[in-house]
Structure 1
Amino acid sequence: MQEKLQQLPYYKWMIFGVISIGIFISTMTSSIVNVALPPITIALQTDIPTAQWVVTAYLLAITSLLPLVGRLGDVLGCRRIYGYGFIGFAAGSLLCGMANSIGMLIGFRVMQAISAATLMANGMAILTAGFPQSERGKVLGVIGTIVALGSLSGPGLGGLLVDNFGWHAIFYVNIPIGMLGYAGVRLILPVDQNLQQEKIDYLGAALFTIGMVSFLLALSYGTRWGWLSISTLACLGFAMVMFVLFIWQEKRIAYPMLELSIFKNWEFSTGNLAGMLSFMAMFSNTLLLPYFLHDILTFTPAKTGLIMSAFPLVMAVVAPLSGSLSDKVGIGPLATTGMGILALGLFLTARLQVNTELWLIMASQAIMGLGNGLFQSPNNNSIMSAVQPRQLGVAGGINALARNFGMVCGTAVAVSILEYRRAASLSGFNQPTQVQQIAAFMDGYQAALLVGAAFAIIGALVSFQRSGK
């Protein structure tokens, strides 16, 4: 049957459909859980810091394992690993929904994250291999739309499910989607061929994973622990030791988990650096804007969600267009322009005041969506097109790693700046008034977003180096 399907003129778009399911389910799950944390905290009789590990553990596991699962795809077959991802995701979702303690839920979320990492890393590799060079920009642009729709639908769908069926439903909804995806893998995706007869560097994978988890813990909790505290410094020091051992391990063996020479590829390295900076910039807004809208402007959650939807909605429209355009005019101009517009949107968001009109708030988010839509598709195209076919799996893993690492770093930097500036503004008051507290928040909020805009400007400069590509 598969041989007949491969003869169809639209077969490559059937491949796209299967990959879209994996991308949609992984991005939706990343955003759907937040809305369920309050009822989970009550139902499992825990506290907010512990419940937050339902989100933190998921992010740590994904970020730490992306290079490994990408490498597994190169050696064992991207199709096989991608199929395992759907099975594991459905099983992990079932177990999450059945969890009756916070410890069980966090553990099963890690299982879910491992499977999500296989989908993120290998989906891009399969998609890149399935389309000719001349069409990659277009298809990666449409993938940008899928990412936006997944992120956009998560909170809204999660709210409906929690209100009508309880928090368990946000996990159970993944099961039929996961099984549909697995059926698509078996029926549609081409069988893996010309696999590399190489060993898996499990020691290197372990060193990288341990080092990354330790480093991300320091970034995530540095503000709470104190950046110069023993806990933070110990995590950072231990992470550095693990990374040094990882590099030593990769240089000495014949088949490393990560070919360090891949970073000598200028287009690949600068593309990932620019991508990381874009997510560092975006997540200063993603984290802090809801607090501004809810705590300062006293908007309802529904109104806040409506305002923030302007970003992914504009991105969903622009990303396919920029992807197609990048096939014709090149990567550099679009990526540079996109990052510049993203910086402008962040600057405008930083200038918002307590009396700002609603249309201006939504306009700032729309401008950010325009900039991100112009940037992401061409940038992803340049990254995946810069490597050899045998490196597509690990390249997709590193691309996703840069994205998740940017999220964590951007969040950590934004929180640190907000808390530092807010504490400095209130240092002279024993019992600050509400007006003084608002002024202190706005001081930290504006500083954090301006730093986010600076990240975007640096990303634009990095992208400008590829202006002729």
Structure 2
Amino acid sequence: MKPTLAVADNAPPTPSVRWALASLSLSMLLSSLGTSIANVGLPTLTQVFGASFQHVQWVVIAYLLAITTLIVSVGRLGDLTGRRRLLLIGIGVFTLASALCGFAPSLPLLIAARTLQGLGAAIMMALTMAFVGETVAKAKTGSAMGLLGTMSAIGTASGPSLGGLLIAGYGWRAIFLITVPLGLLTLVLAHRYLPADRQKPKAARAGFDPVGTLLLALTLAAYALAMTLGRGSFGWLNIALLLAALLGLGMFLMTETRVASPLIRLAMFRDPVLSCSLGMSTLVATVMMATLVVGPFYLSQALGLDAVGVGLVLSVGPFVAALTGVPAGRIADRFGAPRMTLAGLSTMAIGCLMLALLPLTFGIAGYIAPMVVITLGYAVFQTANNTAVMADVAPDQRGVISGLLNLSRNLGLITGASAMGAVFALASAAVDISTARPDVVSGGMRITFAVALLLIAAALAIAMGSRARAVAAETA
């Protein structure tokens, strides 16, 4: 028998709860580490396999594509078949795929193994947040979400530096093999401490939606490819993929209204908390991607930093997020998620405004200060937003809702990489941004974050509208 982990709101966490949270934290760490650690190895892989960058970049794209296309479906599957069982399978798949990546003899097999690893990561991401409601008391949801956010930030921040050290010391295979022992540890902890799945009578079990699942996966794959292929140029292939995504979305929505057990119950989007949270998450992720797209060019081209300097400055953001995740969760528990969502977005708006007005003469410190403000606001927003959604979700919908939250973030990152990159290129008015003058790059950065400020303002408007509706409903 697995331990029952539900505790009273004010009770301190038991050892079983702590170990269960440890397994969930490692799951989040591994999936985010898998995203960031492979990027640093791309130059090495081009030499090892004698392949072009366009081919080698699929080592990264395949992983992200698998997560984006499958995260909602595996979340729903966990709701239907048992989240503990599926999470254990996901951790096992991720660990096995990590070993296959490490021993891959060719680039095509490495890409295939990374796709399998992305499947495992999708399961881990979707079900980790879904398990919070079964692991901690409702009053502690924010703290648990903050912890998961911290682990995600640590994985993102440590990936490039850890990957660089492993490649220098042990070769490229080590960046994949390092996650094998961590995966095995996570599997042992999850098997030992996560609560057992509750068995439902066969008559009460909903069916799975294979047609909707396939349509959603194809739609998301088409959109993700439309936004990532071409490395900044939007050609006919991108347009065709975007049209295919729109067609697929229409077919998916039509299918979901007709099947007995839909993958996503469209009626759930009538809930203003959920629909507003998903919209805000996408907008905020788009802005955060702008910092990763624009930052390296501004630091290298405008401020003249070398690769090591650029990496150190860019690591400030994830480091701040790692430090503020848990405190942000506790604040959300104390003052309420809606209020802290507004606080986080307002802080991000201040940071974007600072960058939109940043003179080139302010140098490195002038860039780091607003980035700290933006990241601090992001940590508060992300924790509060996830808490607002997941705290009151029905148990049989936790997996799919968690998947939707992760999907909204991924879609924002994918869209931001393409759209905000295009804004930066147009604002810089340079054919080749890598050879643009410092003042041109600086001007492009300021315009890009002026656009980012507008996106955050839109998210703020959504948050205030949602809060106003909630207050009106309480007083009615």
1:189 aligned partner: 194
Following TM superposition, by how much is the alpha carbon of 1:355 offset from its aligned partner in structure 2, in angstroms? Answer: 3.4
**For 2:48 and 2:132, how far apart are their aligned partners in 1?**
41
TM-score when normalising by structure 2: 0.91
1:460 aligned partner: 460
Q: 1:222 to 1:348 in 2, by over 3 A?
A: farther
Task: Choose the corresponding residue for 2:229, options 200, 207, 221.
Answer: 221
**For 1:5 and 1:332, how far apart are their aligned partners in 2?**
27
Following TM superposition, by how much is the alpha carbon of 1:395 offset from its aligned partner in structure 2, in angstroms? Answer: 0.6
1:336/1:463 contact within 8 Å kept: yes
3-state DSSP of counterpart to 1:252: coil
List aligned pairs for 1:352-391, cutoff 5 A.
352-391=358-397
2:215/2:252 contact within 8 Å kept: yes
2:116 aligned partner: 111
Following TM superposition, by how much is the alpha carbon of 1:344 offset from its aligned partner in structure 2, in angstroms? Answer: 2.0
2:127 aligned partner: 122
Following TM superposition, by how much is the alpha carbon of 1:317 offset from its aligned partner in structure 2, in angstroms? Answer: 2.8
Q: 1:425 to 1:6 in 2, by over 3 A?
A: closer
Q: 1:127 to 1:156 in 2, by over 3 A?
A: same
List aligned pairs for 1:33-52, cutoff 5 A.
33-52=38-57
1:60/1:216 contact within 8 Å kept: yes
Task: Choose the corresponding residue for 2:316, options 292, 307, 310.
Answer: 310
Identity among equivalent positions (%) equals 29
Amino acid at match of 2:313: I
1:165 aligned partner: 170
Q: 1:347 to 1:3 in 2, by over 3 A?
A: closer
List aligned pairs for 1:36-435, cutoff 5 A.
36-195=41-200, 197-221=205-229, 224-226=232-234, 229-422=235-428, 424=429
TM-score when normalising by structure 1: 0.93
Q: 1:13 to 1:225 in 2, by over 3 A?
A: same
Following TM superposition, by how much is the alpha carbon of 1:6 offset from its aligned partner in structure 2, in angstroms? Answer: 8.6
Task: Give per-residue Cα distances to partners, 1:311-350, cap 9 Å, x unaligned.
Answer: 2222223222222222232222211121121122123234
Following TM superposition, by how much is the alpha carbon of 1:189 offset from its aligned partner in structure 2, in angstroms? Answer: 0.8
Following TM superposition, by how much is the alpha carbon of 1:5 offset from its aligned partner in structure 2, in angstroms? Answer: 8.6
Following TM superposition, by how much is the alpha carbon of 1:216 offset from its aligned partner in structure 2, in angstroms? Answer: 1.4
Q: 1:200 to 1:171 in 2, by over 3 A?
A: same
Following TM superposition, by how much is the alpha carbon of 1:101 offset from its aligned partner in structure 2, in angstroms? Answer: 2.2
Following TM superposition, by how much is the alpha carbon of 1:351 offset from its aligned partner in structure 2, in angstroms? Answer: 3.8
Moved more, 131-140 or 168-177: 131-140
Task: Give per-residue Cα distances to partners, 1:352-407, cap 9 Å, x unaligned.
Answer: 45433332222122111211122111110011124211100101100110111110
CA RMSD of aligned residues (A): 2.3
3-state DSSP of counterpart to 2:243: helix
**For 2:46 and 2:294, how far apart are their aligned partners in 1?**
22
**For 2:5 and 2:341, how far apart are their aligned partners in 1?**
36
1:220/1:412 contact within 8 Å kept: yes
3-state DSSP of counterpart to 2:218: helix
Unaligned runs of 5+ in 1: none
Amino acid at match of 2:72: P
Task: Give per-residue Cα distances to partners, 1:178-236, cap 9 Å, x unaligned.
Answer: 1111111211111100446222111111111111111111122366443xx43222112
1:15/1:127 contact within 8 Å kept: no
**For 1:70 and 1:118, how far apart are their aligned partners in 2?**
7
2:20 aligned partner: 15
2:5/2:195 contact within 8 Å kept: no
Task: Choose the corresponding residue for 1:30, options 35, 45, 68.
Answer: 35
Q: 1:455 to 1:222 in 2, by over 3 A?
A: farther
Amino acid at match of 2:197: D
**For 1:90 and 1:433, how far apart are their aligned partners in 2?**
38
3-state DSSP of counterpart to 1:356: helix
Moved more, 368-377 or 312-321: 312-321
**For 2:86 and 2:2, how far apart are their aligned partners in 1?**
19
**For 1:312 and 1:433, how far apart are their aligned partners in 2?**
25
Amino acid at match of 1:205: T
3-state DSSP of counterpart to 1:256: coil
Amino acid at match of 1:149: I
Count of equivalent residues: 461
Task: Give per-residue Cα distances to partners, 1:28-52, cap 9 Å, x unaligned.
Answer: 1111111111101111111112111
Moved more, 394-403 or 146-155: 146-155
Moved more, 74-83 or 335-344: 335-344
**For 1:354 and 1:50, how far apart are their aligned partners in 2?**
37
Task: Give per-residue Cα distances to partners, 1:275-319, cap 9 Å, x unaligned.
Answer: 111111111011220122123323133322222222222222322
Unaligned runs of 5+ in 2: 8-12, 471-476
Amino acid at match of 2:289: F
Following TM superposition, by how much is the alpha carbon of 1:126 offset from its aligned partner in structure 2, in angstroms? Answer: 0.8
Q: 1:96 to 1:245 in 2, by over 3 A?
A: same
Following TM superposition, by how much is the alpha carbon of 1:441 offset from its aligned partner in structure 2, in angstroms? Answer: 3.0
2:94/2:117 contact within 8 Å kept: yes
1:276/1:406 contact within 8 Å kept: yes
Amino acid at match of 2:394: Q
Amino acid at match of 1:164: G
1:308/1:365 contact within 8 Å kept: no
3-state DSSP of counterpart to 1:465: helix
1:161/1:167 contact within 8 Å kept: yes
3-state DSSP of counterpart to 2:291: helix
1:446 aligned partner: 446
